[in-house]
Structure 1
Amino acid sequence: MSRSTHFPVIIEQDKNGVYIVSCPMFQGCHSYGYTMEEAMENIREAIQACRDEMADISEASTRFIGLRDLEVTL
């Protein structure tokens, strides 16, 4: 029986309009897509591949805490 698990995903867009997606739960888990839908499907596959490499999610090297907005004077 399979179960669903929620993973945080960070979405950015580069200067060419390409969506860059990352899952901070797994080091090096990144993908991209030319549409939001494509990017989300690609990161889903990347997360599944990263997850398959780990025997148990509790073995993750990091634990996602959240996102904060930080103001920096430049």
Structure 2
Amino acid sequence: MKTARRFTVIIEQDEDGIYVAEIPQIPGCHTQAGDVPTLMERIREAAELCASELNEIPHLEFIGLQQIDVLV
């Protein structure tokens, strides 16, 4: 039986303006789109496909995000 799970989605925008989403809890679960509504549809579909391949998905509690500056 399938159950609903809540996942944290990280969204970034690349230098070309494309939105990129990933779900850290699900290895390999990422997608991209030209706008956020389409991105959210696609990441939901990707999550369902990727999660169906896993035996277990870790339960991680979202705490927050931080940005740092690094000399490269």
TM class, shorter-length: 0.7 to 0.9
Question: What's the CA shift for 1:72?
Answer: 4.6
Q: Give the paired residue count.
A: 71
Q: Is 1:7 equivalent to 2:7 in the alignment?
A: yes
Secondary structure (helix, strand or coil) at the match of 1:24 reads coil
TM-score normalised to structure 1 length:
0.74
Secondary structure (helix, strand or coil) at the match of 1:12 reads strand
Letter paired with 2:25: M
Q: Deviations over 1:25-70 (max 9, x none)?
A: 0122110111101111111111111110013334x8xx46533343
* C-alpha separation in 2, matches of 1:46 and 1:9: 12
Q: CA RMSD in A?
A: 2.5
Runs of 5+ unmatched residues, structure 2 = none
Letter paired with 1:6: R
* C-alpha separation in 2, matches of 1:56 and 1:27: 11
Corresponding residue of 1:24: 24
Q: 4+ residue stretches of structure 1 with deviation over 6 A?
A: none
Which structure features the higher share of helix residues? 1
Letter paired with 1:26: I
* Identical-pair percentage: 35
* C-alpha separation in 2, matches of 1:72 and 1:57: 31
